[in-house]
Amino acid sequence: MPRLAILGATGKLGDKLITRALDQGYSVNALARDPRAIKRQNERLTVIPGDAETGAGLDALVERCQFVVCAIGSLRPVVATAMDKLLPQLEALKRFERFVLISRLGTGESREQSAKVSGPIQQRLPVILGPVFRDINLAEERVRTSRVPWTILRSTRLTDDPPTGKAVVVGPHEPPPHRITRADLAHFLVDLLDQPGHVGEELTVGSP
Ligand SMILES: NC(=O)c1ccc[n+]([C@@H]2O[C@H](COP(=O)([O-])OP(=O)(O)OC[C@H]3O[C@@H](n4cnc5c(N)ncnc54)[C@H](OP(=O)(O)O)[C@@H]3O)[C@@H](O)[C@H]2O)c1
C-alpha cells in the first residue's frame, strides 16, 4: 500500500489532502505541531508530532513513504528552512517516488502571469506578501536543485467552496486560471502522484 506524508496536514488544504489520499487507498503520515488538531481517526492515518522548521519529527514522518507533499502555509518565512531539513531526508529514502511542493501563483516563471489575475489585490500579492513570496521562491530553488523526483504546483487563490471536479493546468505564459477550491486541488494533487509525467515540472494550477 503506498504511503504519503503530508506537511501542513493540520491546515485547510492538508485536511482535504488527508481525505482524498485515504479515499484513494493511501496510508497517510500527517505532521502536526499540535497532534490534537487532527481529530479524525483512521487505521491508515498516523499523526506524527513535529515541526518542519526545526526538523523535529521529519525522520519519522517520511519513513517508509513513497510520496511526500508540502502544504505548509505561514506568514512567517518557514518553507525554505523546512526544505533544508526535509530534502536531505528524502534523498536518503529508498524507492522514493515523488515530492510535491505546493507553491503559489506569482513565484518563479509565473510572476508575470500573476499580474493578469482578476482583482488589484491579487495582482499585487507578490509585493504585498513580499517575505512570504521570497521564502517560497527560495524553497522552490532548493527543490529544483535537489536529487528527489519533484513537482512544483503553483496554485491560484484557494477557496473553501464545495468541490466542482474541475482543475486545469496551464503553462507560465498562458492566461492564469481562476481560483480553485481546496477540495479540487487536493483531488488533482493526489491523482497526479501515481501518474508517470510531471516529474521536474512547475505547473500553474487553478480552475477553468
Ligand atoms: N490560501 C491561498 O489562497 C493559497 C493560494 C495559493 C497557494 N496556497 C498554498 O496552499 C497551501 C495551503 O494553504 P492553506 O490556506 O490551506 O493553509 P493553512 O490552512 O493556513 O495551513 C497552513 C499549514 O501549515 C502548517 N505550518 C505552518 N508552519 C509550520 C511549521 N513550522 N511546521 C509544520 N507545519 C507548519 C500549519 O500548521 P499549524 O496548524 O500547526 O499552524 C498548517 O497545517 C500553502 O502551501 C499555501 O502557500 C495558498
User: What's the confidence (pLDDT) of residue 173?
Assistant: 87
pTM of the model as a whole: 0.97
Q: Which of 31, 70, 74 to mutate to test the pocket of ligand 1 (most atoms within 8 A of CB)?
A: 74
Question: Which alpha helices (DSSP H) does the chain contain, by range?
Answer: 12-23, 58-62, 79-91, 111-114, 120-123, 125-128, 130-144, 182-193
Helices 12-23 & 182-193, crossing angle to 10 degrees? 50
Residue 16, pLDDT > 90, answer yes
* Largest interatomic CA distance in the chain: 46
Nearest to 99, CA basis, from 153, 54, 28 = 153
Q: Rounded to the nearest 5°, which phi and psi values hold at 120? A: -65, -35
DSSP conformational letter for 56: B
Place of cell 498516523: 46
Distance 11 CA to ligand 1 centre (A): 5
Q: Is the pLDDT of residue 150 over 90?
A: yes
Question: Ligand 1: residues within 6 Å at CB?
Answer: 7-14, 31, 33-34, 37, 51-53, 71-74, 78, 102, 104, 155, 157-158, 182
List all residues 6 or more positions away from 38 whose beta carbon is below 8 Å from its beta carbon: 9, 10, 18, 30, 32, 45, 47
Atom 40 in ligand 1: residue holding the nearest Cα: 33
| pLDDT tens-digit readout, 37-96 | 999 999 999 999 999 999 999 999 999 999 999 999 999 999 999 999 999 999 999 999
pLDDT of residue 125: 87
Predicted pLDDT at 123:
86
pLDDT > 70: what percent of the chain? 100
Domains of the chain listed by start with CATH number: 3-206 (3.40.50.720)
Give the chain's count of helices (H) and strands (E): 8, 10
Provide the pLDDT for residue 91: 97
Sequence-ordered list of residues with C-beta below 8 angstroms from that of 19, at least 6 positions apart, any chain: 186
Rounded to whole angstroms, how far apart are CA atoms 87 and 48? 18
Residue of 106, 109, 95 whose CA lies nearest to 67: 95
What confidence tier does 117 reach under pLDDT thresholds 50, 70, 90? Answer: confident
User: Quick check: 3 and 96 in contact, CB under 8 A?
Assistant: no
Strand partners of residue 24: none
Can you tell me the mean pLDDT for 3-32? 98
Nine-digit cell string for 6: 503530508
Q: What is the CA(9)–ligand 1 centre distance, in A?
A: 8
Average model confidence (pLDDT) for the chain?
Answer: 96
Nearest CA to ligand 1 atom 18: 11
Residue with cell 513513497: 66
User: For 43-52, 111-120, 188-197, which range has the lowest pLDDT when averaged over its residues?
Assistant: 111-120
| Cβ pair 79, 139 in contact under 8 A | yes
